[in-house]
A = this chain, B = another copy of it.
């Protein structure tokens, strides 16, 4: 088993042989895990607002529209990108169409991989157990922020490497991500609060979201992206 980490989507060279885990801690893959933990049936990523609206009109008329631009809910949509919005009485049994700036783009990069999962701190161990059972080469694909390196995603990749890399061969970036996580695991919240994306979310009023997105293993779900739709693996 070989483990690699892509720090940004541009780092990723499509490989049909690999299992890909997409990580967008702030906040898409955290909200996705939260949605499934609260009963969401399927989640359809969309690249643009127009695509999301068209998907609802043409294929999923009962779906909730969700997503953000610049961190804020899209006008006319039912849900933004805060995990606190994805509560059971809203998402249980529902289909959600979601368009976000970074997470959706990263999923699109990975779409031709043999298997694609999504992970955050909130469901890290569940994803690692799934990967260990598969025993295949894995790439952790960090969504980043508008194509740029985002430390919170790489820290989560580092936790995942640590969690499932015991007997694996690690690339330099996998070694680096694990080292990075080890270096700040006792001050994870302070580090991410001081990061570029953390500071921005605090500025627009989402400091509580940052703290929530760093909670470990509060959900046991493993969202899997297949043929354009995310369901529970």
Contacts and interface: CB of A to CB of B under 8 A. Distances in A.
Given A183-B183, A184-B182, A191 B175 contact: yes
A78 interface: no
A184 B175 CA distance: 10
A232 interface: no
Interface stretch (A90-98, A104-112, A146-154): A146-154
A195 interface: yes
A178 interface: yes
A228 B178 CA distance: 38
A160 to B, nearest CB: 15
A178 to B, nearest CB: 7
A16 interface: no
Contacts of A149: 7, 172-173, 176
A179 interface: yes
Nearest to A5: B149
A212 interface: no
A151 B175 CA distance: 8
25 contacts: A7-B7, A7-B149, A148-B172, A149-B172, A149-B176, A151-B172, A151-B175, A151-B176, A154-B176, A155-B179, A172-B196, A175-B194, A175-B195, A176-B180, A178-B183, A179-B180, A179-B181, A179-B183, A179-B184, A179-B191, A180-B180, A180-B183, A182-B182, A182-B183, A183-B184
Given A150-B172, A180-B180, 10 more contacts: A149-B172, A149-B173, A151-B179, A154-B176, A175-B195, A176-B180, A178-B183, A179-B179, A180-B183, A182-B182
Interface of A: 7, 148-151, 154-155, 170-173, 175-176, 178-184, 191, 194-197
